[in-house]
Structure 1
Amino acid sequence: MSLASCTILARNYLPRALLLADSLREHGSEHPLIVFLIDAERDTELPSIDGVRWMRPADLDLPEPALLDLAASYDLVEFATALKPLVLQALLEEIEQVAYLDPDTYVMAPMIELGPALDASAGIVLTPHYLEPIAGEQRFSEGHLLHVGVYNLGFIAVDRRAGPFLQWWWGHLQSECLHGPLDGLFTDQKWVDVGAVLFDASALRHHGYNVSVANLHERPIVAGADGYRIATSGDRLRLMHFHAFDPQRPDDLYGRARTITPAAGSQPAADGAVAQIARRYAAALIEKQSRLGPQPAYIYNADTTGRPISRRMRHAYRSTVLEAPGSLPSPFRAAEAAAYAAWRRGARPLAARLVLSDIAKGVRCALPDEYDALKRRFPGAARALRAKVVEDGGMWG
């Protein structure tokens, strides 16, 4: 049984996705990379590219009004990550095993462990950010995972047994795929901390998958005659994740690793394996960007009049949609532009209350003594604030 790979992105990340497709072909994938473009409209013409199969939102089992509500409620990253379980569900109807890879990942060697790992699992394989306890003179700790989640959802492999998990995951992401530190949310990732337990997901304990600047402290890379390996485990480097990578400054990847942990700085910047890989990836990415040329701006950044949609207004839109699905005019339909503009003007008080809710949560977390003193001095006002702002905003306890 062979495993297919997919990725999800907006057009601005297309060069990275095509580079991922090239790396899959180079290392023997039997399937084209399935590229899901979140900003490809139904009539968008997409080019024929070797090693790539296109998907667009119209291919999902999701009504267009619901899709546009999501695009208005979420920013680009939230929207792309929210659709992940739906894309995987759709692909599993025709393919038995599917791996999702972030578009800024790069295959460094055939991922031969994935199929057997998936067969031996309950249908879900994840990659933890870290595989070893953090010790020594590191400048960070496992506490970072309390903010972003145990697993890096730049990778997940599933088969058809994962159906109940994907349905559960989508049940949360369709309304709660938020980057909301005050609410303990980090888009799709933190939910999987819960889902991994509920649905018996397996952690891939191979040091060569989903290697990034965040875990180089435990996965020092060395070059050998047969490619790159992890020095401490001997595992072959399979998948490199170039998160927040600037191809114009490839050595910054090494510099960021040194900032995080002195251990990662043991490789000289000039000729270390990390620098070699970063420069190779940067050169290939720049060449791909040059061939493709400038890509269109994200179509859901602004309404049909060209007015940018602020994060505050997205939150107000989402809050209203949750109470009355399908009730709002879409910012992305020209015929509804006047109605949307009228709603936006009327939604300003709601947007302000949501901002006040975040401020109240922040004050409560940052100044707990002062918050308690305020409650004792003004109990009535504190109860009203809690009822109207804190509890309505989803913060209890």
Structure 2
Amino acid sequence: MTDIAYCTILSTNYLPKALALAESLRRHEGDFSLTILVTDAHSSAQLPQVPPLDGVRVVGTDVLGLPERDLLKLATIYDLVEFATAVKPLLLKGLLEESPAAAYLDPDTYLTAPMVELPIDLAATEGGILLTPHFLEPVTDPEAMLQEGHLLNVGVFNLGFCAVDRRAIGFLDWWWGHLERECLWDPLSGLFVDQKWVDIGAVLFHAGAWQHAGYNVSVANLHERPIALDEDGLYVSSTKDRLRLFHFHAFDTAHPEELSTRLIGSTSHLREQSRTLDGLCREYAEIVMRYEAELAKAPRYAYAADTAGKPLSRQLRRAYRLSMDEDATLPVPFLPEEAEAWASWRRGAWRTEAKELAGDAVKSVRLVLPEEYGRLKKRLPGVSSKLKAKLVRNQGIWH
């Protein structure tokens, strides 16, 4: 068995893609180990039924080593994506207790060849951390789907992949120290879930920025990494690196003509321009659709609503997060026995929600109208100080 333990994290609706990833690992890595963490299942009794696959272990959040109540509070302050990305360092650290190295792969990544460079290049890093930058070259193509400025919003590295060994324990602890409360999609505060933190951590903990062009190829970087096919398989034609890992970011089998459904505008032209890329998409879609047909229809995300069926809005989640700093005994919205206490807290949460929205408004004014905000500070210093102290907390944008 390989010395690298692979893992992925998802909610139940992404299981078909995770099983497609497992199938690609089995095809190219042979005797592998993949742990699939299902975020909307706490114990084995809550796990969805999955066809048995050699090397695949499906687990709930109880493997993370946190008390159930703490996990439910995380699921309260974070939405689906934030929760799944927040627990990444915990899962990786747990795997390092069993294996000398671990690699995280997004559920919508797909191997196209054995990752022969991975253990060698991970061992060669100074800090035992291997990351894949979105771009390896300056973006000179004005028609590229994403430009360099996009990285100011989402971070330098795409964390659909990362690999660590036991030298990275300190990094994982540091990363979790931020993600436990600050794994937020909050553009006004410069946060993009787990990724922007790693821009800092990569420097502090001496991560390696992988220069191999064949890993984590996606719609974001196809302009610099066009793929081609020869007698040995797929490769990146601009660098001649073999294609190892393709990231089907936001690929949706309900829109099979698209490469990604998350960007503004259509991406179908990318497939129309490349028969090789289109063939890879068709291969992937066939496997995902097979598992979609085989698995039961995924239920609604378990932490999207409270026990009364009322959705948890972004504002409500942020209000709960702020309240956790002041009250460790907050009720949990997903426990029937605490439904009455939760309903009472929810009714009164509008004050904290309003404060959070006001904080966002203040940040917006400061960023969009800096001169006007500066004049306000001079004319009404008392008001400015109160806004600074009470409305914007711990986001480091005040100067």
Q: Residues of 2 paired with 1:203 and 1:149: CA distance?
A: 13
Equivalent of 2:132 in 127, 130, 133: 127
How many angstroms does 1:59 deviate by? Answer: 1.4
Equivalent of 1:278 in 257, 281, 285: 281
Q: 1:12 to 1:260 in 2, by over 3 A?
A: closer
Q: Indicate the residue corresponding to 1:302 in structure 2.
A: 305
Q: 1:393 to 1:155 in 2, by over 3 A?
A: closer
Q: Indicate the residue corresponding to 1:389 in structure 2.
A: 391
How many angstroms does 1:260 deviate by? Answer: 9.9
What amino acid is the match of 1:205? Q
Q: Indicate the residue corresponding to 1:330 in structure 2.
A: 332
Residue by residue, what CA displacement relative to the aligned partner does 1:288-314 show, whole Å, maximum 9, x if unpaired? 101113111111111111111111110
User: Given that residues 329 and 336 in structure 1 are in contact (C-alpha distance below 8 angstroms), is that contact kept between their aligned partners in structure 2?
Assistant: yes
Matched, 1:251 2:257: yes
What amino acid is the match of 1:28? E
**How do 1:77-226 residues align onto structure 2 when only pairs under 5 Å count?**
77-121=81-125, 122-138=127-143, 140-226=146-232
Report the TM-score when normalising by structure 1: 0.93
Question: RMSD of aligned C-alpha atoms?
Answer: 2.3
Residue by residue, what CA displacement relative to the aligned partner does 1:134-190 show, whole Å, maximum 9, x if unpaired? 124345532211111111111011111111111111111001100011111110001
Residue by residue, what CA displacement relative to the aligned partner does 1:336-395 show, whole Å, maximum 9, x if unpaired? 000011011111101110011011111211222332344445444334333332357754
How many angstroms does 1:223 deviate by? Answer: 1.4
How many angstroms does 1:45 deviate by? Answer: 4.5
Q: 1:255 to 1:225 in 2, by over 3 A?
A: farther
Q: Indicate the residue corresponding to 1:269 in structure 2.
A: 272
Q: Residues of 2 paired with 1:71 and 1:257: CA distance?
A: 27
Q: 1:299 to 1:259 in 2, by over 3 A?
A: closer
Q: Residues of 1 paired with 2:384 and 2:315: CA distance?
A: 24
**How do 1:375-386 residues align onto structure 2 when only pairs under 5 Å count?**
375-386=377-388
User: Given that residues 39 and 299 in structure 1 are in contact (C-alpha distance below 8 angstroms), is that contact kept between their aligned partners in structure 2?
Assistant: yes
Equivalent of 2:80 in 76, 80, 91: 76
Matched, 1:63 2:67: yes
What amino acid is the match of 2:95? L
Q: Residues of 1 paired with 2:338 and 2:261: CA distance?
A: 49
Q: Residues of 2 paired with 1:375 and 1:4: CA distance?
A: 53
What amino acid is the match of 1:342? S
Q: Residues of 1 paired with 2:47 and 2:369: CA distance?
A: 53
**How do 1:358-373 residues align onto structure 2 when only pairs under 5 Å count?**
358-373=360-375
Q: Indicate the residue corresponding to 1:25 in structure 2.
A: 26
Which has the larger displacement, 337-346 or 271-280?
271-280
Q: Residues of 2 paired with 1:251 and 1:236: CA distance?
A: 25
User: Given that residues 251 and 261 in structure 2 are in contact (C-alpha distance below 8 angstroms), is that contact kept between their aligned partners in structure 1?
Assistant: no
How many angstroms does 1:257 deviate by? Answer: 9.1
How many angstroms does 1:61 deviate by? Answer: 1.4
User: Given that residues 171 and 201 in structure 2 are in contact (C-alpha distance below 8 angstroms), is that contact kept between their aligned partners in structure 1?
Assistant: yes
Query: Alignment partner of 1:36: what SS?
Result: strand
Residue by residue, what CA displacement relative to the aligned partner does 1:243-287 show, whole Å, maximum 9, x if unpaired? 1112232332289999799xx97x771652222211221222112
Query: Alignment partner of 2:222: what SS?
Result: coil
Residue by residue, what CA displacement relative to the aligned partner does 1:212-271 show, whole Å, maximum 9, x if unpaired? 00000110111112211100110111101011112232332289999799xx97x77165
Query: Alignment partner of 1:18: what SS?
Result: helix
Matched, 1:236 2:248: no
User: Given that residues 72 and 334 in structure 2 are in contact (C-alpha distance below 8 angstroms), is that contact kept between their aligned partners in structure 1?
Assistant: yes
Unaligned runs of 5+ in 1: none
Which has the larger displacement, 99-108 or 1-10?
1-10
Percent identical: 51
Which has the larger displacement, 80-89 or 251-260?
251-260
Q: Residues of 1 paired with 2:265 and 2:333: CA distance?
A: 42
